[in-house]
Amino acid sequence: MPVREPTPLLARHPDLPRRLAAVAPGAKLLTRPAEWAPYACDGLTARRRRPGMVAVPADAGEVAAILRLCHALEVPVVPRGAGTGLSGGALPREDALVLSLARLDRILEIDPEARTATVEPGVRNLELGEAVAPFGLFYAPDPSSQVACTLGGNVAENAGGVHCLKYGLTVHNLLAVDLVLMNGETVRLGGGGLDGPGLDLLPVVCGSEGLLGVVTRLRVRLLPRPESVRVVLAAFDALRRAGDAVAAVLRAGILPAGLEMMDRLALRAVAAYLGPGYPECEALLLCELDGCAEEAEALAQRVARCFAEGGAVEIQVARTPEACRRLWAGRKAAFPAMGRLAPDYYVMDGTLPRHRLGEVLETIAALAREHGLAVANVFHAGDGNLHPLILYDAGVPQQREAAEALGRRILEACVAAGGTITGEHGVGVEKLDAMCIQFGRGELERFHALRRAFDGKGLLNPGKAIPTLHRCAELGGMHVQRGRLPHPELERF
């Protein structure tokens, strides 16, 4: 039976623009299709839909008023930040209102003594970093999209970045949020300290992908900028050796600020795009150590020895800020550089135990050959968060389908190795099927119950992040029917 298309929002509620203007007079209301083009997708550009309407409120009060009205009319709402997400978390629906937080973009307070900042969700990640730098502070989560992504979106996806290995993901640096529920009620979760009374619901909201509420204010933790930094570059003639070297560094009791890997294909793209001067090799590691000058230097020497013992064919140590920036510039530019290799690329995001890195990288290479597509690997090696970039041409019939099929196989390999289907990009619409691989009936029922506790009507970001049991059953249902995790290594946790 064919799937029935939803009734367009303005056909169902022709007076919605008038009613929204009455409760949120400062909001920009986009009602014409010509105005909707920028909202048709997020960073997952292969998936596009037409929104029913777009509202861009001016402040938190208008966010609450819009949600209250939509709740009364049972209008679905898709929250949206900067649209840099890579899993379709902000993909619109024709029967839904897109709620953009772009105008809530003020840094409200920087408290250097408490080492906190209070901001609105539309503040860009890099913007906050630049604002706190004069105080000798920094905000640790630094995703590659930090020049454009917003802090509200970082909370929705629990974003990480290059420095998450030592300093944590967004959830480890988030102190409090003001959360507007679908019924328009505002609740404050968290506080100014490291702990507080009651249930700790802040980690539940962080990474909830817009399903539980809309963040209108957040307080984050700031850290003192390290006195000294070293970056160790190591070139390897085999991916497996580089993966094993990552595990060796961590086994030695060293906790780098960042530990990243790029393979030959990614290095070739970066060389053509930016020319950072990386050596030619099969795999490149970048390891950042920080602390006082003596500590950073001693750690850099220990890491260099680990890399040499692991078979590195070339090692460099950057000791000046400019030299460190040069080495990191290529890694930060890796995603945009892929345009030099293919018209399109599909970014996967999975995690696995660090000691299985080398093995899974070899599996990815074998799967790429099987599907006839090239894969460039750029990822956070230190915490096992893979970002395989599958290169394809959307203009060639069946290549997009082949890329998505390869992506699913890569996620299956991550789960089989004891990992997960996502690290920081979220589930969105992209990984709904993969959720059925990882989780059984019991887990999925608990996810849905938690969502109902926040949004009983299921109006916030519908069809995202959590698959229905019916969907999993249609896909085969083996894990849902068993009601348990699918792999023995996962069952031990």
- pLDDT tens digit at each of 493 positions of the chain: 455 678 999 999 999 999 999 999 999 999 999 999 999 999 999 899 999 999 999 999 999 999 999 999 999 999 999 999 999 999 999 999 999 999 999 999 999 999 999 999 999 999 999 999 999 999 999 998 999 999 999 999 999 999 999 999 999 999 999 999 999 999 999 987 777 788 899 999 999 999 999 999 999 999 999 999 999 999 999 988 998 999 999 999 999 999 999 999 999 999 999 989 999 999 999 999 999 999 999 999 999 999 999 999 999 999 999 999 999 999 988 988 998 899 999 999 999 998 888 889 889 999 999 999 999 999 899 989 999 999 999 889 899 999 999 999 999 999 999 999 998 899 999 999 999 999 999 999 999 999 999 999 999 999 999 999 988 988 875 454 333 434 333 332 2
End-to-end CA distance of the chain: 41
CB neighbours of 456 closer than 8 A, spacing ≥ 6? none
Query: Up-side HSE of residue 85: CA atoms within 13 Å toward CB?
Result: 39
The amino acid occupying position 187 is: V
In our burial notation (b when 16+ CB lie closer than 10 A, e otherwise), range 10-33 reads: beebeebeeebeeebeebebbeee
Distance CA 487, CA 419 (A): 10
Distance CA 222, CA 219 (A): 10
- pTM for the whole structure: 0.92
- For residue 65, report the phi and psi dihedrals to the nearest 5 degrees: -65, -40
In the chain, how long is the greatest CA-to-CA distance? 70
Distance CA 321, CA 225 (A): 13
Residue 161, exposed/middle/buried by CB under 10 A (0-12, 13-18, 19+)? buried
Distance CA 42, CA 334 (A): 19
